[in-house]
């Protein structure tokens, strides 16, 4: 239905949504890709030692999860998402069509990376991403734990993201070498 309320998650919202929902479906967003493209100075790093968090960078496609929210819960869910996703306003709130695994197309709330924001890291090499993620810690914990959770939960969803798996290997080797 056109008036349904959906939210698209591509990172921790996939395994830890933190809100009530009526339905959860595997979904794909076209035109954006999952990437460590945002400097984290809050959740997974600090201003002195930034880490990296996921964003939806331009190009490609991203497999994630779509959640259908009850109208009665929408205001509360929306307020929660703004607080969770926008501590430093690094994302642009948008509505985009996503394709559910059952073939339906729904209009979903998504938070796209703001390429004009000062925390936009852009397309960093895997080595540079590993350098930033290794050893970074913020209010939500170690940056490597966020990456590890992502890779493990993507596997559980049947999504093999080769780039994220390679990145995790690079970060783990760096952290092992650092002792």
The catalytic residue positions are 85
The DSSP output letter for 120 is B
Dihedrals phi, psi of 56, to nearest 5 degrees: -100, 100
**21-41 residues labelled b (16+ CB within 10 A) or e (exposed):** beeebbbebeebbbbbbbbbb
| Residue of 147, 64, 137 whose CA lies nearest to 101 | 64
Strands 91-100, 137-138: pairing is unpaired
CB 168, CB 147: distance < 8 Å:
yes
- Token pair listed for 163: 């780039």
């Amino acid at each position: 239905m056109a008036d349904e309320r959906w939210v698209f998650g591509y990172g921790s919202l996939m395994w830890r949504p933190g809100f009530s929902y009526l339905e959860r479906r595997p979904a794909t967003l076209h035109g954006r890709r999952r990437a460590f493209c945002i400097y984290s100075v809050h959740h997974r790093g600090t201003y002195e030692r930034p880490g990296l968090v996921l964003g939806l960078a331009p190009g490609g496609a991203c497999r994630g999860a779509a959640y259908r929210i009850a109208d009665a819960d929408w205001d509360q869910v929306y307020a929660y998402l703004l607080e969770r996703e926008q501590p430093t306003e690094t994302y642009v709130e948008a509505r985009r069509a996503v394709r559910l695994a059952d073939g339906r197309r729904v209009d979903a709330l998504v938070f796209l990376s703001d390429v004009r924001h000062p925390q936009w890291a852009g397309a960093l090499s895997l080595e540079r991403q590993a350098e930033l993620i290794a050893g970074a810690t913020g209010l939500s914990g170690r940056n490597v734990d966020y990456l590890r959770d992502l890779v493990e939960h993507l596997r559980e969803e049947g999504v093999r993201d080769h780039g994220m798996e390679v990145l995790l290997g690079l970060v783990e080797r760096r952290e092992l070498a650092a002792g």
